Amino acid sequence: MVTTDFVKPKILVVDDEPDAVDLIAFNLKAAGFRVTAAPDGEVALKKARQESPDLIVLDLMLPEVDGLEVCKILRRDTATAGIPIVMLTARAEEVDRVLGLELGADDYITKPFSPRELVLRIKNLLRRRHGGEGGDPDRLQIDELVIDVPRHLVTVAGRAVELTATEFRLLSVLAQRRGRVQSRDQLLRDVWDYDSLIDTRTVDTHIRRLREKLGKAARFLDTVRGVGYRFAES
């Protein structure tokens, strides 16, 4: 539990009612997710870009910029385009309207909803994303590369690869955010410590070491010039 914190899916909850946020956050945490919250669209967009959450729960009704707009912007921005979005709507008939707009949220749920249902839908979306149908969420499998977090084990085409603790964490974080670019700063925050004073070039060194050890599977580690690194979509 403690050792695997860094791969717990991180979920951004966007809602302007603190009570709703609390309720959702409580249930999500109980289900083993990390939670971060935003009260309005502006903060939501900022956090989505900076913290690179694995999924966003987005209330349709928001002050200032409304949920629809936020959704659209998130989809347009490459840094956040891939993140699944679950829309919260107050009334059922709104769903139809929203669907008609085709703005590409991945699921919809109407208030009031049972926390259990929300958790189920979130798990579903995350599972779908990780390709592992019905698979263990702690185990990432991308073609010949398998990352087993609780076991702290990585294999490439069935062959075990020996990674150090840092390398393992770096690979896990990248793999978990497959397809999304992670800036060096973002990686330093998530793989190293919260406010690490480490040089960003250090990330490059670790990427190099990972590539060396991963052999064939190194092809997954894309460099995005001027931005950061990305775990290849496939």
Is 167 an interacting residue with respect to DNA (CB under 7 A)? yes
Residue from the set 152, 209, 211, 213 that interacts with its own copies by CB under 8 A? 152
| DSSP state, residue 9 | P
Q: Which residue from 199, 172, 173 is spatially nearest to 185, judged by alpha carbons?
A: 199
Neighbours of 91 (CB within 10 A): 10
Is 54 an interacting residue with respect to DNA (CB under 7 A)? no
Neighbours of 65 (CB within 10 A): 15
48 vs 203, beta carbon nearer DNA: 203
Q: Which residue from 146, 169, 144 is spatially nearest to 135, judged by alpha carbons?
A: 146
- Owner of token pair 């987005």: 58
Which does residue 64 bind out of its own copies, DNA, none, counting CB within 5 to 8 angstroms by kind?
Answer: none
Euclidean distance between CA atoms 226 and 46, whole angstroms: 20
Is 2 an interacting residue with respect to its own copies (CB under 8 A)? yes
Which does residue 198 bind out of DNA, its own copies, none, counting CB within 5 to 8 angstroms by kind?
Answer: DNA
Is 89 an interacting residue with respect to its own copies (CB under 8 A)? no
Q: What are phi and psi of 197, to 5 degrees?
A: -100, 25
* 130 token code pair: 């990780």
Is 225 an interacting residue with respect to DNA (CB under 7 A)? yes
Which does residue 84 bind out of its own copies, DNA, none, counting CB within 5 to 8 angstroms by kind?
Answer: none
- Closest separation between CB of residue 179 and DNA, Å? 17
**Radius of gyration in angstroms for the set of CA atoms belonging to the chain, rounded to a whole number:** 18
- Closest separation between CB of residue 2 and its own copies, Å? 6
Which does residue 1 bind out of its own copies, DNA, none, counting CB within 5 to 8 angstroms by kind?
Answer: its own copies
Q: Which residue from 173, 170, 179, 189 is spatially nearest to 51, judged by alpha carbons?
A: 189
* 94 token code pair: 């709104």
19 vs 195, beta carbon nearer DNA: 195
Contacting residues toward its own copies, per CB under 8 A: 1-3, 150-152, 164-166, 179-183, 185-186, 224-228, 230, 233
Contacting residues toward DNA, per CB under 7 A: 162, 164-167, 184, 192, 197-199, 201-202, 204-209, 211, 223-228
